[in-house]
A = this chain, B = another copy of it.
Amino acid sequence: MNGRTAGKNGKRVRLSPDERRRQLITLGTRMLREHALEDISISEVAEQAGISRGLLFHYFSSKQDFQLAIVANANAELLTRTEPDRSLPLAEMLYDAVRRYVDYVSENRTSYLALLRRPAGTELMTLVDATRGAQADRIMAEIPLPADHPDRPRLELAVRGWIAFVEEVTLSWLTTETISREQLIEMLVGSLPGLAADPTLIALLGS
């Protein structure tokens, strides 16, 4: 049975170990479009490939090993899909790559959300998220825009993003310390108005 799979008309097709491994990863990655990583059923992947669950573990040492192979494949897919088109001028190249990123993430929203948002300890991430939400609310509370102002949704997204920016930059800085604390603070503060690219914020913060 090893290396064989059910073909178009029920006949078993022989695959090389490499082809089989690739097939299983492709099936898993496809399922990632609609299931979180931890919800991908090994039995279902094996069934779709026409092999036994046990045989799948001939190609991957554990469920975790299979999950990692799926994530590595999905990441490679993301990088390929967002590969810059170097025939374009720089500003257009950025625009084009960002557009493809948004579309890729939209197509793979379930898995992408699951992967980046709560990468395991769910209750823990809920707490961390609540803290981010509280930080965003504080900032929004200082911005004198009526609740129904048309710019508000965009600004709310930008503020959430700015908090992620601040966290990432501060954590990277802690491990590298390539600039001074004062430069870091200037950069974090200076980034908010430009990031929101919002005339209201820019006017308020006088940047």
Q: Does A33 lie at the interface of the complex (its beta carbon under 8 Å from any beta carbon of B)?
A: no
Contact A161 B153 (CB under 8 A): no
Known: A72-B127, A82-B135, A187-B154. A94 touches B192 (CB 8 A): yes
| CB of A183 within 8 Å of the partner chain | yes
Residues of B with C-beta under 8 A to A6: none
A57 interface residue (CB < 8 Å to B): no
Interface size class of A (residues with CB under 8 A): 35 or more
Residues of B within 8 A of A68 (CB): 123-124, 127
**Inside 8 A of A90's CB, which chain B residues have their CB?**
142, 204-205
Inside 8 A of A37's CB, which chain B residues have their CB?
Answer: 124
Complex formed: what's the CA distance from A186 to B105 in Å? 16
A interface majority secondary structure: helix
Q: Which of B72, B156, B175, B184 contacts A102 (CB 8 A)?
A: B184
Query: How many copies of this chain sit in the oligomeric assembly?
Result: 2
Q: Which residues of B contact A117 (CB under 8 A)?
A: 171
Q: Once the chains are docked, how many angstroms separate the CA of A102 from the CA of B185? A: 7
A175 to B162, CA, bound (A): 18
Contact among B128, B161, B165 for A75, CB-based, below 8 A = B128
Taking a contact as CB atoms under 8 Å apart, the answer to whether B84 and A138 are in contact is: yes
* Assembly CA distance A195 to B94 (angstroms): 15
A191 sits at the interface (CB 8 A)? yes
Q: Mark A128-139, 1 if CB is under 8 A from B, else 0.
A: 101100110010
| Residues in chain B near residue A101, CB distance under 8 A | 166, 170
Mark A residues whose CB is within 8 Å of B.
Answer: 37, 64, 67-68, 71-72, 75, 78-79, 82, 84, 90-91, 93-95, 98-99, 101-102, 105-106, 109, 112-113, 115-121, 123-125, 127-128, 130-131, 134-135, 138, 142, 153-154, 156-158, 160-176, 178-179, 181, 183-185, 187-197, 204-206
